[in-house]
Amino acid sequence: MDDSKIIDLFFERSEQAIAELSKKYSKICHSIAFNILGSEADAQECVNDAFLGVWNKIPPEKPETLSAYVYRVVRNNALKKHRSNTALKRNSFYDTALDEIEGCLPSDFSIESEINAENLLQEINSFLKSLEKNNRIIFIKRYWFGEELSAIAKDMNLTVHNVTVRLSRTRKKLKSHLIEREFNI
């Protein structure tokens, strides 16, 4: 079913909206949550909570791109659950991915700097658009979807070492890009 029709079902408050959303997006949503959480049960709970969250937000919100909207809700739920699960310990591969990218992002994030978050988002998007397609895909798979290096390497027909090198070079380029645009790293 077309995304606009699914959104229309949400506005009609039809329970069919959740069924159609689940049919179309549950596999990718589960993958996003599982990559972050590493637990089938937690991932399924996260996806279910995300679908309920979408039900509660639409209406009044009307997302331009339903898939991106749903993926963002799932990812945010998974990150909250991840923080909760690992509050006293650091043990998942996703922590490693977060540590990798941390050195490329502004260090002065606070409530006051939240205003600059939109500018940062625009700059990161601009940077990603400037990348060669395969490097952009690798970067997004690792830092947005939280995929393991071995899975990315397999999907891209590369070695794990090659993926690691590409990510390292891309992080350095991102850091330089943001420093040039006067973001405090």
> What pLDDT is recorded for position 169?
95
Topology annotation, domain 3-85: Rna Polymerase Sigma Factor; Chain: A (1.10.1740)
> First CA to last CA across the chain, in angstroms?
44
Return the number of other C-beta atoms located less than 10 Å from residue 126's C-beta. Answer: 11
Nearest one of 59, 45, 79 to 17, comparing CA atoms = 59
Q: Looking at residue 185, what DSSP letter applies?
A: -
106 upstream amide cis, omega within 30 of 0: no
Say yes or no to pLDDT of 184 above 80.
no
Per-residue pLDDT tens digits for 80-130: 888 887 765 555 556 666 667 666 665 554 444 555 667 777 888 899 999
Q: Could you give phi then psi for residue 48, rounded to 5 degrees?
A: -60, -45
For the chain, give the number of residues. Answer: 185
Topology annotation, domain 93-180: Arc Repressor Mutant, subunit A (1.10.10)
**Domain segments of the chain as ranges:** 3-85, 93-180
Per-residue pLDDT tens digits for 27-42: 999 999 998 888 899 9
> What pLDDT is recorded for position 127?
93
SS3 content of the chain, % helix, strand, coil (to 5): 75, 0, 25
> What pLDDT is recorded for position 102?
67
Say yes or no to pLDDT of 181 above 90.
no
Under a CB-based contact definition with an 8 Å cutoff, are residues 146 and 31 in contact?
no
CA distance 44 to 33: 8
> What pLDDT is recorded for position 106?
57
Per-residue pLDDT tens digits for 141-174: 998 888 899 999 999 999 999 999 999 999 999 9
For the question of whether the overall pTM of this predicted structure is more than 0.85, the answer is no
> What pLDDT is recorded for position 55?
94
CA distance 47 to 37: 12
Nearest one of 164, 132, 136 to 148, comparing CA atoms = 164
59 upstream amide cis, omega within 30 of 0: yes
